[in-house]
Amino acid sequence: MARHGQERGQVERFSVLHRLLHVLVMVGFFGLGVTGFSLYFGGAWWARAIAWCLGGAAGLAWTHRFLAVITYASVMAHLAWLVYYKLVLKGRLTGPGTMFPRWRDVKDMFGHLGWALDKREMPSFDRFTWWEKMDYWAVLLGMNTMGITGLVLWFPEWFSQWLPGYFINLALLLHLFEAVIAVAIKFVMHPIVAHLRPEVWPADTTIFTGRMSRERIRRERPALWERMASEDREAGS
Amino acid sequence: MAPTRSSPRRAAGLLSALLLALALAAAAWAAVPPGMESSWYLDLGRYQAGAHGKLECAECHAKQFRALEPGSKTPHPDTKDSKYLMTPALRDYAYDQCQRCHRTAYARFHLGKHAEALKKGTKTKQTKSPSPMCGDCHQVHYDRARMDRVELGRRQTLVCGTCHPAQATTYLSDYHGQAGDKLGWEKAAFCSDCHGAHEVKSLKTAEVAAGACLRCHPGANPRFAAYVVHPTLADLGQEDAAKRRSVYLLCTLSAVLAVIAVCVVGFFYGHTFLWLLREIQHKLRKH
């Protein structure tokens, strides 16, 4: 949780581990998208250019697998941290300040849409907004499904000991369409929402520095601000 | 520049466009059916650069040379007869002569599906092409010796694809075709790596297909061979029920996934777009 009351009106929002994991997943995901689509659209001029840089189809395929291992290792590191956080640090994994999905997030999403259409008030966001939770769960779950279908494509002979061969086709289809959705959302929407929209333009450095100003929390996360204020009152009294 | 100067230019432009269109129409009108372009005339330069370039004409066309001798029983065709030049020389040639040098390839050809279809006279369902003989796949006069694997493989996609277009298309959208044909990876599988070059095999039985897979995939079993390289219903009979089911499953699943992808991406793009408009409106209102 945010340790508040720090100097210069800053609050620590992401720990060093999470900043590092974000950078790893960012680089890994981008590379996976580039190499994967270059393999699939091998006839396109840009794909051939990228393939040439990485040493042909074999280079593309091995870079893809290498990045997949790094990205999935980041996911595993995060899961290990969750266990440590729960068991050793006695932290909470559910509740208002966590990534755990709540019914309120669905209401927030439609409330937010209503706000965009000038029909409703802006929902009062807590530590993680609905789109941040969606980004998080999309990666956490998506990396596992991509990992499973990817492993089927990496070791088809081994999997065909139990599965009929057309499961390799199914794995490829699922891998492809999930990649299309993931890239369309993460390569386009995530940068726009997190950095490029007018409220945060030109960039939000929080995920890289880990710090967020108290002023921004008051403005953009009123529910978190309220909770922080009540915790402060309890600590003060 | 005076406006009057531009009109002759425009006329010249129009005229050249018209000439170009006429030339294209003439070219289309004069086009010979595919496979018959070089039947009767030889480009000697290209011939001499090819694998057969050192051979004398008479070594392969002995019969035709004998026909020129006085008193020959098989006279040379009437050169004035315009109909004769329209018979496809490619299919007229006695290919049994090829085995004088290419004995293994010739013997293998006769073990395969193409030879079987040639005997029965069956044609492909897709293009109604008759079964090929040597000259249908090999440009006998011009092909170079020792083409590299990728060049040869890409040629196969084109050549095999003229009679089996659905198989060529599906191969190209399969990983083997993407890595091999499109990205030029020499270790990927091209047509002949699975189906054989001269002994052309159908891989409809799982055990035979697994034998082809084993060439690159150690441990491949008949179950592995149920992987669908050519997800198309072309050339599939009712007896290929298992593959038909797989193809239906794959087509249905990709349609469903495409709808899901469009809905998900469309919803969130729409949401972000409205969100952006609203924030821009807020910014403008403040100023």
CB contact under 8 A, A198 and B253: no
B187: left (phi over 0), alpha (psi -120 to 50) or beta: alpha
The pLDDT of residue B214 is 94
Q: What residues have CB less than 8 Å from A218, skipping those under 6 apart?
A: A225
CB contact under 8 A, A58 and B218: no
pLDDT in tens, chain B (287 residues): 344 455 667 777 777 777 777 776 665 554 444 444 555 778 888 899 999 999 999 899 888 888 888 887 777 777 677 777 677 777 778 899 999 999 999 999 999 999 999 999 888 888 888 899 999 899 899 898 889 999 999 999 999 999 999 999 999 999 999 999 999 999 999 999 999 989 998 898 889 999 999 999 998 999 999 999 999 998 888 888 889 999 999 999 999 999 999 999 999 999 999 999 998 988 888 76
Using a CB-CB cut-off of 8 Å, the residues of chain A touching B226 are 160, 164-166
Which residue in B has a C-alpha nearest to residue A48's C-alpha?
Answer: B183
User: How many beta-carbon pairs below 8 A join chains A and B?
Assistant: 127
Q: What residues have CB less than 8 Å from B223, skipping those under 6 apart?
A: A160, A161, A163, A164, A165, B206
- Cα B255 to Cα A150, A176, B210, B227, distances in angstroms: 21, 13, 29, 19
3-state SS of B171-227?
Answer: HHCCHHHHHHHHCCCCCCCCHHHHHCCCCCCCCCCHHHHHHHHCCCCCCCCCCHHHC
Q: What residues have CB less than 8 Å from A1, skipping those under 6 apart?
A: A91, A97, A127
The pLDDT of residue B224 is 94
The pLDDT of residue B2 is 44
Structure tokens at B220: 């491949």
CB contact under 8 A, B249 and A170: yes
CB contact under 8 A, A113 and B271: yes
Residues B267, A181: contact at Cβ < 8 Å? Answer: no
CB contact under 8 A, A39 and B178: yes
Q: What is the mean pLDDT of residues A200-205?
A: 85
Using a CB-CB cut-off of 8 Å, the residues of chain A touching B271 are 112-113, 116
Q: What residues have CB less than 8 Å from B271, skipping those under 6 apart?
A: A112, A113, A116
pLDDT tens figures, A161-195: 999 999 999 999 999 999 999 999 999 999 999 88
Q: How far apart are CA B248 and CA B230, in angstroms?
A: 12
Least confident interval from A94-103, A227-236, B224-233, B269-278: A227-236
Instruction: Compute and round to an integer the Cα radius of gyration of chain B.
Output: 28
Q: How far apart are CA A178 and CA B54, in angstroms?
A: 56
- At A8, is the pLDDT very low, low, confident or very high (cuts 50, 70, 90)? low
pLDDT at A4 over 60: no
Which residue in A has a C-alpha nearest to residue B217's C-alpha?
Answer: A157
pLDDT tens figures, A132-167: 999 999 999 999 999 999 999 999 999 999 999 999
Q: Which residue matches tokens 């000991």?
A: A161
CB contact under 8 A, A58 and B282: no
This complex has an ipTM of: 0.87
The pLDDT of residue A13 is 86
Percent of chain A with pLDDT over 90: 63
Q: Which residue has the higher pLDDT, B93 or A1?
A: B93
CB contact under 8 A, B221 and A40: no
Half-sphere exposure for B76 (CA within 13 Å, toward CB): 12
The pLDDT of residue B31 is 47
**Nearest C-alpha of chain B: how many angstroms from A48?**
6
CB contact under 8 A, A161 and B221: yes
Residue of B186, B227, B232 to mutate, testing the A interface (most A Cβ within 10 Å of its Cβ): B227
Nearest to B223 among A39, A164, A189 (CB): A164
- The domain limits of chain B are 236-267
Residues A218, A9: contact at Cβ < 8 Å? Answer: no
Say if strands A211-213 and A10-12 run parallel, antiparallel, or are unpaired.
Answer: antiparallel
Q: What residues have CB less than 8 Å from B196, skipping those under 6 apart?
A: B108, B112
Nearest in space to A43 (alpha carbons), one of B179, B165, B232: B179
Strand (E) positions, chain A? Answer: 10-12, 211-213
The pLDDT of residue B26 is 60
Q: Which residue has the higher pLDDT, A205 or B102?
A: B102
